[in-house]
Structure formats: C-alpha cells, structure tokens
Amino acid sequence: MSATRTVTVGSSHGLHARPAKLFVEAAQGTGVQMTLAKGEKSVNAASILGVMSLGVEKGDEVVLTAEGENTEAALDALEEFLKTDHDEA
C-alpha cells in the first residue's frame, strides 16, 4: 500500500541541522519506508544527508510518500512533525 501527502513546513529553520535530525529519527521510528520530496528531488526520509540536501525552508511544500503497512498513521505523525516549529529554544 502506498500513500502520499503534501505538507507545508512550519519549522522556523526548515529542515536544517537539529530539526532534520529529529525528522529523520521520527521517520525511522515509524517503521514505514518513507520518501521526502521537494520539487523534482526525492530522498529517503530516513537519511539525514538526503533530507538536508533538499534545502527545505519554512513555508516550503514537501511531499511525503509512504510504502507498506500503517502508512496513514506514519504520514499523520510526520505531517504533524513538519507542521510544528522545532527551533532550538
């Protein structure tokens, strides 16, 4: 089973450094094969280098694609993550 969702990034620094690390950990924790895409480029959501290479900024639209079981729950979790500001306090 495959599912896709478009999300607008809410983190004030996008997916750079710490937020990217947290996102990758969340993606790995879902147990679902997940990709993250910005524009024409798509990467494994569980790869810190891949995620950072997308250059995702606040307000960017990204596309999450999940493959396997429990895709909706995994997409829900990562969508919520991307909408939340994970700026360092």
Q: Which helix (H) or strand (E) holds 7?
A: strand 2-8
Q: Which of 64, 58, 60 is nearest to 85 (CA)?
A: 58
**Packed helices 18-30 and 71-83: angle between N→C axes, nearest 10 degrees:** 170
Structure token pair of residue 44: 């494994």
Q: From the candidates 5, 16, 21, 58, which is the catalytic residue?
A: 16
16 is catalytic: yes
Residues with a catalytic annotation lie at: 16
